Structure 1
Amino acid sequence: MARKILTVFGTRPEAIKLFPLVHTLEGDARFVSRVCVTGQHRGMLDQVLQIAGVAPDHDLDVMQPDQSLDALTARLLTGIGQVLDAERPDWVVVQGDTATAMCGALAAYYRKIRVAHVEAGLRSGHIYHPWPEEANRKIIGTMAHLHCAPTDTAADALRGENVDPATIHVTGNTVIDALHWVTARIRERPEIAGGLAQWETRFAGRRIIGVTSHRRENFGEGMQAIAGAIRRIAARDDVALIFPVHLNPHVRQVMQAELAGLDNVALIEPLDYPHFARLLDIATLMLTDSGGVQEEAPALGKPVLVMRETTERPEGIAAGTARLVGTDAARIVAETCRLLDDADAYAAMARAHNPFGDGTSAQRIVDLLAAG
């Protein structure tokens, strides 16, 4: 009898990292695949669903204006619980470290349904960095029956927490599967990522720096410092910065106030997945506080400067594909200029081996679900 798998996700990064798994499950006769989305990122989630051709079986649409984390958690837990009662799956699959992932695992645990955790074992070692994601990961790790660790480092972290070694498997990260999928689609249909053409034309002859910033722990002084660093970098006449600005007002208000009107800074709306892949492709380097960019950009040979104090992806730091620069404006500027001005330093990062996967992670995970 085919096993029923319920894949639960709610944010854009989760959708990107799980659609390769959904595709693989749907093409495998060993499984009945069901999808529940929570709408934790409404518009950005829907973009990925449309591009990837994923039609959810359940959509909880949980977000409300200015919703607190505890109110969100309550809505997620009860909403996912109702879906589990209706579907009664053999496995629940969650990914990463979001409130959706944590509540999906907890609701499954309450019903004694097995949980598979994709991208398991990431740890920064600091419960407030990233916040609240570090705690979410650890909570999921105590309940999961299958831990799909992207790297040996992540697997070692789980073993260090006394997780049963038989449940830990190094699978690589499905984000690389997704990136390979979307870049192949862009080659077939360039128009799906053609929305950046105006900026590519406008900034011709300049080196493009891609920027993303949205982490909660950077709200306030950190976000102000990041904006100040971008302003100083933009004073160079050989660069341009393309910054898809997150919808959160804690990000948007600061960046508009500090950077609007600069000729070589494009403050643009959040990008759908093909356009973001295109930004990675045309960028010389990435400035980010995102987790996923630390994995994606090195797959295209692009150095990453991580504007955070800690990272739950130390493999990139160790491999040399990424460097922690924190939110000190002077350091962000200095490290950016070093990569722009020192060809050897740039090449060392651009050519470093990406430790996060080879593009076949989804099939490995599906085979583990079949064997478990």
Structure 2
Amino acid sequence: MKRRICVFTGTRAEYGLLYWLMKDIQASAELELQVIVSGMHLSPEFGETWKTIENDGFTIDAKVEMLLSSDSDVGVVKSMGLGVLGFADALDRLRPDALVVLGDRFEALAIVQCALVMKIPVAHLHGGEITEGAYDDAIRHAITKMSYLHFVAAEPYRHRVIQMGESADRVFNVGAIGLDHLMRSPRMTRHELSQSLAFDLSAPYLLVTYHPVTLAEEDPVQSFKALLAALDRFPEHKVILTYPNADNGGRAIIPLLEDYARQAPARIKAIPSLGFKRYLSAVALADAVVGNSSSGIIEVPAFGVPTINIGARQEGRLAAESVLNSKADALSIEAALRHALSTDFAAVCKRAVNPYGAGNAASSIVDVLKRFEARHNKPFHDLS
């Protein structure tokens, strides 16, 4: 009898990372893929990206509506409550042998709570990391303690998960799963990407994604305005702007982003979601990736492309030499961009070593899921 492996996804970015793992589970003779979709995927405001999942050949076994129109702290908490109600029903119906979740978002916390109480073992990806500028940091560690299997992206993160009381034989350093795309996913040419976006990319461009900072004292609106002011200092570069996620304060950024794009439609392209194929193609062809997404630190260095990481959101993550950290003010962002676009720094980026693995995470995870007898109960592992 096949083991039922249920993969949860609540955001476009997370799905892009999980794609090859889902494909490998789907192709396995020993595993049966189940898919639960929720959060931003079901929202027209964020591009209804559940359609992409189905177009990629996956069957969605459960859609759980949970996002309220409010992204205040109270609104996010209430969204989590709605999620818990829906996830309980979905998991009760599907009864998987294991639930796979990635990362540190509030949607993942909601479903993992349900799995814990319902005695469904959880396999967690990207545990042990640090992002001191977001409450995602605490959520990630909480999910670690509610999970049975751990697939981490680097050896320091494996040690940190073990330090949290998880037995070493259940913690696997497989590298960052997003890097599997480098080995397995075809990319678009500049012309193909330009046609797909209906946006002329014959000139150099910057790829920009800025998410609200949920924990540090960094006002998302002011920081985003500072980012836009810095971008204005590079008129020779076009800009692809992707929408923020559904964290607190994200909706306040969207009208600023849209207004900025309306003012210069020939130079600025605003888009709710690129999808992973267009996103990775856009990264590979960009002069630099700017913002505060984890992708700028984890995946982008593998392309030899510079990252300007703004503000406090990603503080504490391992980073390659190709990542430049900037304060969240216009002058600092401009200075970082000028350095990133220099000939000398281009050479640094080309030789930078990405600390997040070689791009074979999905197959490693599937091997473990096939052979490991996951349980919901576990002893606390004390360090000797």
Fold shared, TM-score > 0.5 on shorter chain: yes
1:167 matches 2:205 = no
User: Aligned-pair distance for 1:71?
Assistant: 1.1
Residue 252 of structure 1 corresponds to 254
Q: Letter of the aligned partner of 2:273 in structure 1?
A: L
1:1-372 residue pairs with structure 2 within 5 A? 1-42=1-42, 43-66=47-70, 68-124=75-131, 126=132, 129-131=133-135, 133-182=136-185, 184=186, 186=188, 191=192, 194-196=195-197, 198-201=199-202, 204=203, 207-217=204-214, 221-246=219-244, 248-256=250-258, 260-262=262-264, 265-273=267-275, 274-311=277-314, 314-316=317-319, 319-340=320-341, 342-372=342-372
State the Cα deviation string for residues 313-371 of structure 1 (Å, max 9, x = none): 6221xx3131221312221111111222x321232134301222322111100111122
Instruction: Decide whether the 8 Å contact of 1:289 with 1:307 is kept in 2.
Output: yes
Q: SS state of the match for residue 28, structure 2? A: coil
Q: SS state of the match for residue 113, structure 2? A: helix
* Structure 1: runs of 5 or more not aligned: none
User: Aligned-pair distance for 1:308?
Assistant: 2.3
User: Aligned-pair distance for 1:177?
Assistant: 1.6
Following the alignment from structure 1 to structure 2, what is the Cα–Cα distance between the partners of residues 64 and 81?
18
Following the alignment from structure 2 to structure 1, what is the Cα–Cα distance between the partners of residues 235 and 98?
54
User: Aligned-pair distance for 1:181?
Assistant: 3.8
Following the alignment from structure 1 to structure 2, what is the Cα–Cα distance between the partners of residues 280 and 144?
32
Instruction: Decide whether the 8 Å contact of 2:26 with 2:32 is kept in 1.
Output: yes
Following the alignment from structure 1 to structure 2, what is the Cα–Cα distance between the partners of residues 185 and 279?
9
- With 87-96 and 244-253 compared, the bigger mean Cα shift is at 244-253
Instruction: Decide whether the 8 Å contact of 2:102 with 2:124 is kept in 1.
Output: yes
Q: Letter of the aligned partner of 2:207 in structure 1?
A: G
Instruction: Decide whether the 8 Å contact of 1:231 with 1:258 is kept in 2.
Output: no
Following the alignment from structure 1 to structure 2, what is the Cα–Cα distance between the partners of residues 284 and 185?
17
Following the alignment from structure 2 to structure 1, what is the Cα–Cα distance between the partners of residues 313 and 335?
19
Compare the two structures and name the one with the higher helix fraction.
Answer: 1
User: Aligned-pair distance for 1:192?
Assistant: 7.1
- With 1-10 and 210-219 compared, the bigger mean Cα shift is at 210-219
Instruction: Decide whether the 8 Å contact of 2:83 with 2:107 is kept in 1.
Output: yes
- Given the two structures, how large is their TM-score scaled by the length of structure 2? 0.85
Following the alignment from structure 2 to structure 1, what is the Cα–Cα distance between the partners of residues 296 and 90?
32
Residue 378 of structure 2 corresponds to none
Instruction: Decide whether the 8 Å contact of 1:226 with 1:329 is kept in 2.
Output: no
* Structure 2: runs of 5 or more not aligned: 373-384
Relative contact order, CA 8 A, sep 6+: which one is greater?
Answer: 2
Instruction: Decide whether the 8 Å contact of 2:12 with 2:49 is kept in 1.
Output: yes
Provide the aligned C-alpha RMSD in A. 2.6
Q: Letter of the aligned partner of 2:172 in structure 1?
A: H
Once the two structures are aligned, what percentage of the paired residues are identical? 23
User: Aligned-pair distance for 1:27?
Assistant: 0.8
User: Aligned-pair distance for 1:185?
Assistant: 5.7
Count of aligned pairs between the two proteins: 359
Q: Letter of the aligned partner of 2:7 in structure 1?
A: T
Residues 1:39 and 1:55: Cα distance change in structure 2 (over 3 Å): farther
State the Cα deviation string for residues 10-29 of structure 1 (Å, max 9, x = none): 11122111121111011111
Instruction: Decide whether the 8 Å contact of 1:12 with 1:44 is kept in 2.
Output: no
User: Aligned-pair distance for 1:193?
Assistant: 6.7
